[in-house]
């Protein structure tokens, strides 16, 4: 009731009607399985146990998961599994038996209240794998605070270095302003990322930023803020931008291309100048390898 899980704070009673996200009060899963394309500190030996939830609060014009992130209940449930919190716990155990290094919730925000129950139930029954909250970073501060003691690892996006760009490309007001508060709240809750003896994350925050073609200043403003939080934080600086929307030509022609080598190099160089201690960088061809296809049995390429 009165949903305020994300910063849209639409206030919908989702047992009666859908929220801003287009989702009611049930749990919808588009895919789950081992994922070896996440950051090395998440994949471990066999992969991260990812659960891709259907739908999303945002409508980012370049979303690589657009096949499932644009979903809402008006589109029907074909290809989407409707589950209970009890079934979620069973999925945790399935992924553990497959050798997952952790349980990785992708686009979890509309389902955060369900996750609280499922995680508590799993931990009460001795489940010990770390839980990863893999979010767009537009969660409400109350949602982040409610996850204290339940989520072990946070993997928030920090998408833009100004509010105008966030509104333009993701349809969300105050993405930069609010995102700063989310990053600080998570950092204060968990501290920087901690790894075990095998280099696998067990606790803390790591931050993702996707460099957008033609918007290097935004990336640099993102890095300027993150430097003020803690230069030791793990920053995953991604080059895998890939056009995924048929409307790019008409609406945003500047997004109708992949990233140029010199663009990515400028942002990487700037991050190094700022002195980040744990910077993860990608090969520029990453967009070819990490682009998912949720219509295929094998979602990710080898």
Predicted TM-score of the model (pTM): 0.95
Three-state SS at 238: strand
The whole-number pLDDT of residue 269 equals 98
pLDDT tens, position by position, for the chain (302 residues)?
799 999 999 999 999 999 999 999 999 999 999 999 999 999 999 999 999 999 999 999 999 899 999 999 988 888 899 999 999 999 999 999 999 999 999 999 999 999 999 999 999 999 999 999 999 999 999 999 999 999 999 999 999 999 999 999 999 999 999 999 999 999 999 999 999 999 999 999 999 999 999 999 999 999 999 999 999 999 999 999 988 766 666 788 889 999 999 999 999 999 999 999 999 999 887 766 667 777 777 776 65
How many Cβ atoms sit within 10 Å of the Cβ of residue 84? 13
Rounded distance, CA 122 to CA 91, Å?
11
The whole-number pLDDT of residue 111 equals 98
* Contact by Cβ (8 Å): 53, 103: no
Rounded distance, CA 99 to CA 173, Å?
40
Three-state SS at 35: strand
Domains for the chain: give ranges and CATH numbers.
29-290 (3.20.20.70)
* Contact by Cβ (8 Å): 103, 49: yes
CA angle 266, 269, 274 (to 5 degrees): 125
Closest CA to 62 of 214, 277, 188, 271: 214
196: its two tokens: 């075990």
Closest CA to 7 of 182, 169, 168: 182
* Contact by Cβ (8 Å): 184, 153: no
Instruction: State the distance between the two ends of the chain, measured CA to CA, in whole angstroms.
Output: 42
């Amino acid at each position: 009731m009165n949903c305020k899980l994300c910063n849209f704070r639409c206030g919908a009673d989702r047992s009666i009607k859908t929220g801003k996200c287009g989702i009611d009060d049930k749990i919808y899963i588009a895919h789950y399985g081992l994922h070896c394309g996440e950051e090395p500190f998440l994949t471990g030996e066999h992969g991260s146990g990812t659960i891709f939830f259907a739908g999303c609060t945002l409508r980012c014009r370049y979303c690589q998961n657009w096949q499932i992130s644009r979903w809402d209940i008006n589109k029907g449930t074909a290809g989407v599994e409707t589950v209970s919190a009890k079934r979620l716990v069973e999925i945790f155990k399935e992924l553990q038996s497959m050798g997952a290094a952790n349980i990785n919730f992708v686009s979890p925000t509309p389902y955060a209240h369900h996750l609280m129950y499922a995680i508590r139930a799993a931990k009460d029954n001795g489940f010990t794998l770390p839980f990863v909250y893999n979010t767009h970073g537009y969660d409400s501060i109350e949602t982040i605070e409610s996850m204290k003691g339940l989520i072990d690892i946070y993997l928030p996006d920090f998408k833009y270095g100004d509010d105008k760009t966030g509104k333009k490309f993701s349809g969300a007001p105050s993405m930069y302003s609010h995102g700063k508060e989310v990053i600080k709240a998570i950092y204060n809750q968990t501290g920087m990322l901690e790894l075990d003896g095998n280099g696998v994350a067990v606790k803390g925050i790591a931050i993702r930023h996707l460099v957008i073609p033609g918007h290097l200043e935004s990336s640099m403003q993102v890095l300027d803020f993150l430097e003020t939080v803690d230069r030791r934080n793990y920053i995953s600086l991604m080059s895998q931008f890939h056009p995924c929307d048929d409307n790019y030509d008409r609406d945003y022609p500047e997004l109708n291309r992949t990233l140029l080598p010199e663009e990515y190099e400028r942002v990487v160089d700037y991050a190094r100048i700022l002195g980040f201690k744990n910077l993860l960088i990608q090969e520029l061809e990453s967009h070819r390898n990490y682009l998912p296809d949720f219509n295929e049995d094998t979602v990710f390429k080898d």
